[in-house]
Amino acid sequence: MGNSVGLSEAGWETLPNADVKYSPETQTLYISNGQPARMGEEIARWVVVFTDEDPEADNNVNDASPVSIQIDAAETVLKPFVDAILAKYGVRREPPSVAVAAQS
């Protein structure tokens, strides 16, 4: 990918209904831009993208915009990405017991 864009440059501050939910019991991460979702499609194992258009309708499926994403087993799915980001910036991950002890 080319140049990265900061959150304010991307206009994300204009999404007042944006929502992020996480269920630790099922490790399900749900991110929404607040727009109604009409149809969901599993695009990869454990990853569902919801769009604002129903592909079964008369609309062209290419006109659909993603409005939310659900990632099941998020800790497993996202761990390689998080680890790569941490490694890129030289951040070491501390074991949970060390992090908890440091907060006490």
pLDDT of residue 60: 55
Q: Provide the pLDDT for residue 3.
A: 43
Q: Identify the DSSP state of 92.
A: P
Is pTM beyond 0.95 here? no
- pLDDT of residue 66 exceeding 60, the answer is yes
pLDDT for the residue numbered 28: 94
Q: Of 1-5, 41-45, 84-88, where does mean pLDDT reach its minimum?
A: 1-5
Q: Where are the alpha helices (DSSP H) in the chain?
A: 7-10, 74-88, 96-103
CA angle 62, 78, 67 (to 5 degrees): 30
